């Protein structure tokens, strides 16, 4: 197939024929014939190039947070016995971009490797491919493209920042989380500490060496695997956010999930658009939440009021963080009522410019251009920490009776 350069040579040759005929210049006909011969010869030579290539593409890594590096590694092997011509590998990357890799001629059974970096500055799913191998003649007159690899996806999760995680809370629901050891019980799992004997404790838990050393009956106190619970609510209604504030809210949701996972919380992601991951823990659950945050968009179908009602009804003494747009102060006030159903509630309003605190009240965390989310969040939790109920390990615990 002639390239753009090849079509220009062919068109120029036709023009030379016309001009030579009009003015009777025979030499122009010879130049035109040479041009036609060059185009035809290039097309024939390209079509005669029989390629037997094995092309493998690998992403490292295939999933990552925005801003982290990712690259594509290509491995090309010539399975034919004869030498290949100059090869051009073209790999589309997302919309409107493509990677172009030039390979010098390969000997029979020769393998070469090439790599290129991927754009990861924005969250989303980047489709890579299909990869095509292009063969062209030395003059760039003709080229032939062959599909060598299919498509693959790079998932870019939202950017995360290291922030203070949601605190442990104490509530009636067992998995609501307590940050202290439980009472001694016969089926306790992990050894935690020693404490004085309390009437009703199992005598099999007496630590005789410490009892002899202290001249006081000491028993082993075991810690049960209690887990904190963290609910992250993300407003996804169109019109609630301005500028890039929605992107900042999505990044904040990802940061809260990573911080809660670091403390081994049970994590739940809820959006005003109706998404509810339910409580879960571990890498698979966190990745599923990140996959949704990578592609979440604002829409007109959001129902924040109904979501808040459902969350108040399902309150269980855990911690909740509501990430809302600053364009709807009344909704921010409604989200503050979650405090009646949860052990800890943080409401964050995202906006542009500089937000007016008198509009939202003293208990709302304001994240704007002047005070980004990470610093605003850490400062707010630092102020609330002294008032939090944090039982100590030395608190008396009732034994099994």
- Token output for 352: 């542009």
> Domain holding 295: CATH number?
3.40.50
Query: What is the model's pLDDT at position 200?
Result: 64
Q: Which of 323, 355, 354 is nearest to 338 (CA)?
A: 323
285 and 336 part of one domain? yes
Element (H, E) at 308: helix 304-313
Give the pTM.
0.74
d(Cα 329, Cα 349) in Å, to the nearest integer?
A: 8
Query: What is the model's pLDDT at position 399?
Result: 37
367 and 272 part of one domain? yes
Confidence of residue 210 (pLDDT cuts 50, 70, 90): confident
29 and 57 part of one domain? no
**From the CB of residue 21, how many other CB atoms can be counted at a distance below 10 Å?**
12
Query: What is the model's pLDDT at position 226?
Result: 60
Asked if residue 398 is part of any domain, the answer here is: no
Instruction: Summarize pLDDT for 234-267 with one digit per residue, the tens.
Output: 999 988 898 899 999 999 999 999 999 998 899 9
**From the CB of residue 209, how many other CB atoms can be counted at a distance below 10 Å?**
9
269 and 208 part of one domain? no
Residue 367 has pLDDT above 80, yes or no: yes
Please give the residue range of the domain that contains residue 357.
Answer: 229-387
Q: Which among 241-245, 317-321, 396-400 has the top mean pLDDT?
A: 241-245
Query: What is the model's pLDDT at position 204?
Result: 80
Q: Give me the count of residues in the chain.
A: 401
Residue 24 has pLDDT above 90, yes or no: no
Instruction: Summarize pLDDT for 81-114 with one digit per residue, the tens.
Output: 888 888 889 999 988 889 999 988 899 899 999 9
What does the radius of gyration of the chain's CA atoms come to, in whole angstroms? 33
Instruction: Summarize pLDDT for 296-311 with one digit per residue, the tens.
Output: 999 988 889 999 998 8
Instruction: Summarize pLDDT for 166-204 with one digit per residue, the tens.
Output: 988 754 344 444 444 443 343 444 455 677 776 667 788
237 and 350 part of one domain? yes
Query: What is the model's pLDDT at position 199?
Result: 66
Torsion of CA 120, 122, 128, 132, to 10 degrees: -80
- Report the DSSP beta bridge partners of residue 179: none
Residue 47 has pLDDT above 80, yes or no: no
Asked if residue 63 is part of any domain, the answer here is: yes
- Report the DSSP beta bridge partners of residue 367: 350
Is 341 in contact with 318 (CB distance < 8 Å)?
no
Confidence of residue 385 (pLDDT cuts 50, 70, 90): low
Instruction: Summarize pLDDT for 117-152 with one digit per residue, the tens.
Output: 999 999 999 999 999 998 877 777 887 888 888 999
- Token output for 87: 């090869």
**What mean pLDDT do residues 30-48 have?**
82
Query: What is the model's pLDDT at position 401?
Result: 31
> At which of 223, 247, 268 does a domain end?
223
Asked if residue 245 is part of any domain, the answer here is: yes
Instruction: Summarize pLDDT for 338-364 with one digit per residue, the tens.
Output: 888 888 899 999 998 888 888 888 889
Element (H, E) at 250: helix 245-262
Coil, strand, or helix at residue 161?
coil
Sign of CA dihedral 161, 167, 172, 177: positive
Could you give phi then psi for residue 88, rounded to 5 degrees?
A: -120, 120
Continuous H helices in 103-235 = 208-214
Please give the tally of structural domains in the chain: 4
373 and 343 part of one domain? yes
Q: Is the peptide bond before 91 cis (omega within 30 degrees of 0)?
A: no
**267: Cβ–Cβ under 8 A, 6 or more apart, which residues?**
230, 232, 257, 260, 261, 277, 279, 280, 281, 285, 286, 289
Query: What is the model's pLDDT at position 168?
Result: 82
Coil, strand, or helix at residue 136?
strand
Confidence of residue 387 (pLDDT cuts 50, 70, 90): very low
Residue 153 has pLDDT above 70, yes or no: yes
Query: What is the model's pLDDT at position 4?
Result: 83
The residue ranking higher by pLDDT, 159 or 19, is: 159
The residue ranking higher by pLDDT, 89 or 220, is: 89
Mean pLDDT of the chain: 83
d(Cα 169, Cα 357) in Å, to the nearest integer?
A: 27
Residue 48 has pLDDT above 80, yes or no: no
- Residue 399 is classified by DSSP as P
Asked if residue 87 is part of any domain, the answer here is: yes
239 and 358 part of one domain? yes
200 and 333 part of one domain? no
Helices (H) and strands (E) in the chain, counts: 9, 17
Asked if residue 364 is part of any domain, the answer here is: yes
Asked if residue 400 is part of any domain, the answer here is: no
Asked if residue 178 is part of any domain, the answer here is: no
Query: What is the model's pLDDT at position 341?
Result: 84
Query: What is the model's pLDDT at position 317?
Result: 62
Query: What is the model's pLDDT at position 259?
Result: 95
245 and 382 part of one domain? yes
Q: Environment class of residue 364 by beta-carbon count within 10 Å: exposed (0-12), middle (13-18) or buried (19+)?
A: buried
143 and 282 part of one domain? no
Coil, strand, or helix at residue 389?
coil
Sign of CA dihedral 362, 363, 365, 366: negative
Query: What is the model's pLDDT at position 315?
Result: 58
Query: What is the model's pLDDT at position 93?
Result: 94
Asked if residue 179 is part of any domain, the answer here is: no
12 and 80 part of one domain? no
283 and 355 part of one domain? yes
> Domain holding 119: CATH number?
2.60.40.10
């Amino acid at each position: 197939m002639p390239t753009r350069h090849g079509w220009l040579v062919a068109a120029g040759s036709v023009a030379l024929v016309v001009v030579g005929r009009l003015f009777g210049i025979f030499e122009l006909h010879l130049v035109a014939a040479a041009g036609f011969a060059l185009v035809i010869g290039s097309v024939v030579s390209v079509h005669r190039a029989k390629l037997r290539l094995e092309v493998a593409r690998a992403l490292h890594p295939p999933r990552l947070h925005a801003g982290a590096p990712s690259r594509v590694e290509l491995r090309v092997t010539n399975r034919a016995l004869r030498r290949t011509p100059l090869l051009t590998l073209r790999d589309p990357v997302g919309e409107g971009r493509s990677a172009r890799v030039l390979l010098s001629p390969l000997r029979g059974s020769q393998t070469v490797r090439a790599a290129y970096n991927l754009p990861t500055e924005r969250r989303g799913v980047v489709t890579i491919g299909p990869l095509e191998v292009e063969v062209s003649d030395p003059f760039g007159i003709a080229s032939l493209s062959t599909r060598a690899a299919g498509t693959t996806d790079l998932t870019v999760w939202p950017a995360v920042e290291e922030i203070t995680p949601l605190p442990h809370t104490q509530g009636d629901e067992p998995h609501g989380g307590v940050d202290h050891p439980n009472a001694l019980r016969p089926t306790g799992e992990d050894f935690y500490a020693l404490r004085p004997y309390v009437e009703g404790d199992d005598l099999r838990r007496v630590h005789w060496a410490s009892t002899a050393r202290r001249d006081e009956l000491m028993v082993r106190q075991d810690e049960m695997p209690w887990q904190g619970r963290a609910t992250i609510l993300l407003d996804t209604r169109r019109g609630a956010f301005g500028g890039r504030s929605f992107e900042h809210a999505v990044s904040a949701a990802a940061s809260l999930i990573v911080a809660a996972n670091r403390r081994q919380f049970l994590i739940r992601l809820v959006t005003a658009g109706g998404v509810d991951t339910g409580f879960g823990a571990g890498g698979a659950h966190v990745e599923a939440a990140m996959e949704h945050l990578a592609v979440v968009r604002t829409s007109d179908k959001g129902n924040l009021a109904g979501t808040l009602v459902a969350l108040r009804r399902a309150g269980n003494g855990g911690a909740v963080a509501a990430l809302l747009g600053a364009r709807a102060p009344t909704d921010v006030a409604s989200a503050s009522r979650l405090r009646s159903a949860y052990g800890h509630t943080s409401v964050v309003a995202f906006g542009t410019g500089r937000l007016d605190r008198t509009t939202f009240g003293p208990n709302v965390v304001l994240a704007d251009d002047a005070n980004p989310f990470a610093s605003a969040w850490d400062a707010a939790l630092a102020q609330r920490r002294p008032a939090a109920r944090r039982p100590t390990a030395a608190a008396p615990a009732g034994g099994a009776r």
